[in-house]
Amino acid sequence: MKRVLAYLVIGATLVLAGCSVDKKHPQAGTSVLEKLPFVHKMTIEQGNVVTEEMVDRLQPGMTKSQVRFLLGTPMLIDLFHTNRWDYTYTLRRGHDEPVITRLTLLFDHEDYLVRIQGDLQPDLDRAAQRQPKDLLVSVPDWQDNRGFLPRVLGKLNVESVE
C-alpha cells in the first residue's frame, strides 16, 4: 500500500511539474515539457503573407483599392490614422524564435500611396530580373484543312465513305 501511495505522489508531482509556469520566462502557456526536444510544436503563421514580388509591384501614386487588390486587406487600419496601413506577418516554427515581417504603407489625404516603410522595400533591380526578357513562341503554319473524322481515318489508312 505504501508503495502504491509513493507511486501516486511521484506521478502527481511529475504531472503538476509539467503544468507549471517557468519563473524565468513568464510567457503564457509555456511549461517545462515544451522545452524537451521530442515535444512537437506546430508551425504558427499569423497575418498577411507579403512577398518581395508583391512589394516590387507597389508604386507611389497607387490608390488604396489597387494596393488592396495587390496585397490583400491590411492587418491593421488605425481608426485615428486611416491613411496608414500595417501589414504584419509572424512565423513561428517549432521551438525557434518567431520571425516578424512588417510593412507600413502611408497614403495622402486623396488616398494615393505616398511612402513605403518596413522590412520589405521595393527593388527595381530585383523586379527587372524577375521580368522575362523576350518571349518567343513559334506557331506552325496551318496546312491541313480537313475535319476531325477524315484526319483520324487518314491516320488509320481507312478510305472514307462519301
> What is the residue-wise DSSP string for 20-57?
PPPSSS--TT--TGGGSTTS----EEEE----HHHHHH
Are 46 and 34 contained in the same domain? no
Reduced to 3 states, what is the DSSP secondary structure of residue 106? strand
50, burial (CB in 10 Å: exposed 0-12, middle 13-18, buried 19+): buried
Q: How far is CA 78 from CA 10, 51, 102, 105, 126, in A?
A: 53, 23, 15, 12, 31
Residue 139 lies in a domain: no
Element (H, E) at 89: strand 84-92
User: What is the phi/psi pair of residue 105, to 5°?
Assistant: -115, 135
C-alpha cell at 115: 511612402
The DSSP code for 63 is B
Domain total for the chain?
2
Q: Please give the chain's pLDDT, 162 residues, in tens.
A: 888 888 888 877 777 666 555 555 555 556 777 777 777 888 899 988 888 888 988 989 999 999 999 999 988 788 888 899 999 999 998 878 899 999 999 999 888 999 999 988 888 787 777 776 677 788 777 666 777 888 888 888 766 555
Are 117 and 44 contained in the same domain? yes
Residue 143 lies in a domain: no
Are 77 and 56 contained in the same domain? yes
Full domain range(s) for residue 97: 40-130
Are 68 and 110 contained in the same domain? yes
User: Which pLDDT score is estimated for 64?
Assistant: 92
* Of the candidates 41, 50, 42, the residue with the CA atom closest to the CA atom of residue 89: 50
User: Which pLDDT score is estimated for 112?
Assistant: 94
The residue to which cell 516590387 is assigned: 56
Are 45 and 86 contained in the same domain? yes
Residue 144 lies in a domain: no
Are 26 and 47 contained in the same domain? no
